[in-house]
């Protein structure tokens, strides 16, 4: 497929909260949006309301050219749909994944893509249940992406992100690995425990289920240590602080459970269990948690 003639074309996969958020944040470069919910999107950012009409292609429709950059903003349950789209339309593009959880490398390995950049973000947005096209920006946060200075395309993307002030920090691969593990361990405690206790982040630290936080973190840190990932010493207090600072928020896993959706447990605690199994490290608490969360998900009948 012919490549786009724009300086750097960007396709965002997913029309959920983050797909729309990135369409808004990156609007200066006119990204395309791929998914199931067509624009217009209403973005509430503090007291500002912006109506966004990006170029949109449903999953089954071909874009006019291969994008230079693909930003993955789907949930894990749609990752195969996204992977199929990439295979057909963007097999050698730069892929940027800002999805929560880990294991994108394995999930996307069959793709003949040029490069996969897995980052983390503290940007946050929620879909409005009542208005199908509306999102509310919770935080613009900071996004960390691995810098690959020797790669011309990645360098061009880094320059673009700085020129348009996207608040993307380009850091070393060692730094990004630590940040991804810290986020994975935070999510592996707060997400399933709030989903099981059916309460906002601020309440879970006072709920009896919080007794499981210590074994979850201890097991997770053992897995990280075996992967030679250095972790900060204050991880447990930082998770408590995170829950307090986001006290009113409902975790994405709780939102998925309440909406009757498949959760991202397999990419979070499930990833830890698979990694632990490969290294023969016992992680009984994570294993039990994965099982319990699956019990809250809709049962898929074959
Ligand atoms: N939301 C956040 O604050 C946040 C922050 C950091 C990281 N993340 C991560 O970013 C990724 C995407 O999360 P997300 O929050 O964007 O997920 P989401 O809002 O639940 O969207 C997920 C998918 O749901 C579909 N969808 C869109 N509108 C819908 C509607 N009104 N009703 C039902 N389904 C709808 C879309 O499918 P199509 O793709 O087919 O259009 C979309 O890709 C995840 O890995 C998440 O963990 C999220």
User: What pLDDT, on the 0 to 100 scale, is given for residue 76?
Assistant: 94
Distance 12 CA to ligand 1 centre (A): 12
Alpha carbon nearest to ligand 1 atom 42, residue: 16
Token digits for 124?
């946050």
**125 in ligand 1 pocket by Cβ < 6 Å?**
yes
Q: Is the pLDDT of residue 4 over 50?
A: no
pTM: 0.94
Q: Is the pLDDT of residue 233 over 50?
A: yes
CB 73 within 8 A of CB 19: yes
User: What pLDDT, on the 0 to 100 scale, is given for residue 302?
Assistant: 56
Distance 234 CA to ligand 1 centre (A): 31
What is the pairing mode between strands 55-58 and 69-72?
A: unpaired
Query: For ligand 1, what atom is nearest to the CA of residue 135?
Result: 19
CATH class of 10-171: alpha beta
**149 CB burial (10 A radius; 0-12, 13-18, 19+):** exposed
User: What pLDDT, on the 0 to 100 scale, is given for residue 260?
Assistant: 96
Q: Is the pLDDT of residue 275 over 60?
A: yes
**Per-residue pLDDT tens over the stretch 103-128:** 988 888 767 667 999 999 999 999 98
Q: How far apart are alpha carbons 95 and 51 in whole angstroms?
A: 27
Query: For ligand 1, what atom is nearest to the CA of residue 35?
Result: 41
User: What pLDDT, on the 0 to 100 scale, is given for residue 241?
Assistant: 97
Distance 66 CA to ligand 1 centre (A): 23
**Per-residue pLDDT tens over the stretch 173-222:** 999 999 999 999 999 999 999 999 999 999 999 999 999 999 999 999 99
**220 in ligand 1 pocket by Cβ < 6 Å?**
no
Per DSSP, 209 falls in state G
Q: Is the pLDDT of residue 1 over 60?
A: no
Q: Is the pLDDT of residue 161 over 70?
A: yes
User: What pLDDT, on the 0 to 100 scale, is given for residue 132?
Assistant: 79
The phi, psi pair for 225, rounded to 5°, reads: -60, -40
Alpha carbon nearest to ligand 1 atom 32, residue: 132
**43 CB burial (10 A radius; 0-12, 13-18, 19+):** buried
- Tokens 């808004």, residue located: 24
**143 in ligand 1 pocket by Cβ < 6 Å?**
no
What is the pairing mode between strands 168-171 and 32-35?
A: unpaired
Closest CA to 76 of 205, 247, 260, 268: 268
Residue 5 pLDDT class (50, 70, 90 cuts): very low
**Per-residue pLDDT tens over the stretch 40-90:** 999 999 999 999 999 999 999 999 999 999 999 999 999 999 999 999 999
**111 in ligand 1 pocket by Cβ < 6 Å?**
no
For domain 176-296, give its CATH number from 2.60.40.3950, 1.10.10.10, 1.20.1260.10, 1.10.1040.10.
Answer: 1.10.1040.10
Query: For ligand 1, what atom is nearest to the CA of residue 19?
Result: 16
Distance 67 CA to ligand 1 centre (A): 21
User: What pLDDT, on the 0 to 100 scale, is given for residue 106?
Assistant: 86
User: What pLDDT, on the 0 to 100 scale, is given for residue 107?
Assistant: 84
- Sequence ranges of the domains in the chain: 10-171, 176-296
Alpha carbon nearest to ligand 1 atom 34, residue: 16
**Per-residue pLDDT tens over the stretch 245-256:** 999 999 999 999
**231 in ligand 1 pocket by Cβ < 6 Å?**
no
């Amino acid at each position: 497929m012919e490549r786009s003639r724009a300086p750097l074309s960007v396709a965002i996969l997913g029309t959920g909260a983050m797909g729309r958020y990135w369409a808004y944040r990156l609007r200066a470069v006119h990204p395309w949006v791929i998914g199931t919910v067509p624009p217009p999107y209403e973005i509430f950012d503090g007291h500002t309301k912006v109506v966004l009409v990006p170029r949109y292609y449903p999953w089954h429709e071909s874009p006019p050219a291969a994008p230079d950059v693909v930003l993955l903003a789907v949930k894990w349950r749609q990752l195969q749909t996204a992977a199929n789209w990439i295979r057909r339309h963007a097999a050698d593009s730069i892929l940027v994944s800002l999805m929560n959880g880990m294991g994108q490398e394995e999930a996307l390995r069959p793709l003949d893509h040029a490069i996969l950049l897995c980052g983390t973000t503290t940007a946050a947005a929620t879909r409005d249940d009542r208005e199908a096209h509306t999102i509310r920006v919770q935080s613009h946060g900071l996004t960390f992406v691995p810098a690959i200075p020797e790669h011309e395309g990645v360098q061009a993307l880094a320059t673009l992100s700085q020129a348009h002030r996207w608040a993307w920090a380009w850091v070393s691969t060692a730094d990004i690995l630590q940040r991804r593990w810290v986020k994975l361990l935070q999510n592996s405690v707060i997400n399933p425990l709030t989903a099981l206790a059916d309460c906002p982040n601020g309440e879970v630290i006072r709920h009896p289920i919080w007794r499981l936080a210590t074994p979850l973190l201890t097991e997770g840190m053992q897995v990280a240590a075996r992967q030679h990932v250095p972790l900060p010493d204050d991880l447990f207090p930082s998770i408590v602080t995170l829950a307090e600072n986001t006290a009113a928020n409902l975790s994405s896993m709780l939102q998925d459970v309440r909406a009757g959706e498949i959760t991202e447990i397999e990419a979070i605690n499930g990833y830890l269990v698979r990694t632990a199994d490969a290294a023969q490290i016992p992680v009984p608490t994570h294993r039990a948690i994965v099982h319990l969360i699956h019990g809250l998900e809709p049962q898929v009948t074959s």
